[in-house]
A and B are shown apart, each in its own frame.
Chain A
Amino acid sequence: MLTFSAVLPDEARDAYQWHRGFSASKDSLYPRSQAAFKAVVDNGSAWSARDSNADYLALAYANFDEVDSTWELGGLMVATSRRGQGLGAALMRLALGNTLFEENPLELNQKIVAHVLKSNPDPRKIIQHSLKFRFAGSVTIPSHVLPGLKANAEGFIEGDEFHFTMPDSLDALVEWVNSWDGKLRDQEAEIILRPGVSLKHWAKAFGEMASAYS
Chain B
Amino acid sequence: VITMFQTDHAVLDAEEFSEVRSQHDQMRMATLNALIKRLRSIPEDSKEFSRLFAHSLSVLEVDDATLARMFRVSRPTIGRWARGDSAPHPIGRKPVFDQLINLARLKLKYYTAEPRAV
Contacts and interface: CB of A to CB of B under 8 A. Distances in A.
Interface of A: 5-6, 8-10, 41-45, 64, 100-105, 107-108, 192-197, 201, 204-205, 208-209
Nearest to B65: A9
Nearest to B94: A196
A105 B88 CA distance: 10
Interface of B: 46, 65, 68-77, 80, 86-92, 94-96, 98-99
16 contacts: A5-B72, A9-B65, A42-B74, A42-B75, A43-B74, A44-B74, A100-B89, A101-B92, A102-B92, A103-B88, A104-B46, A108-B86, A194-B96, A197-B95, A204-B91, A205-B90
A105 B92 contact: no
A64 B81 CA distance: 14
A195 B99 contact: yes
A114 to B, nearest CB: 19
A41 to B, nearest CB: 8
Nearest to A64: B76
Contacts of A103: 77, 80, 86, 88
A8 B80 CA distance: 18
A45 B80 CA distance: 13
B72 A6 contact: yes
Contacts of B89: 100-102, 104, 205, 208-209
B65 A194 contact: no
Contacts of B94: 196
Which 9 A-B pairs give the minimum distances between C-beta atoms?
A: A196-B95, A205-B89, A103-B86, A205-B91, A45-B74, A102-B88, A6-B72, A194-B72, A201-B91
A44 B73 CA distance: 9
Contacts of A6: 72-74
Contacts of B96: 194, 196
A45 B77 contact: yes
Contact of B86 (A104, A194, A201): A104
B68 A194 contact: no
Which of B73, B86, B89, B95 lies at the interface centre, i.e. has the most chain A CB atoms within 10 A of its CB? B89
Nearest to A61: B74
A8 B88 CA distance: 19
B74 A194 contact: no
Which of B46, B73, B98, B99 lies at the interface centre, i.e. has the most chain A CB atoms within 10 A of its CB? B73
Which of B65, B90, B95, B99 lies at the interface centre, i.e. has the most chain A CB atoms within 10 A of its CB? B95
A43 B75 contact: yes
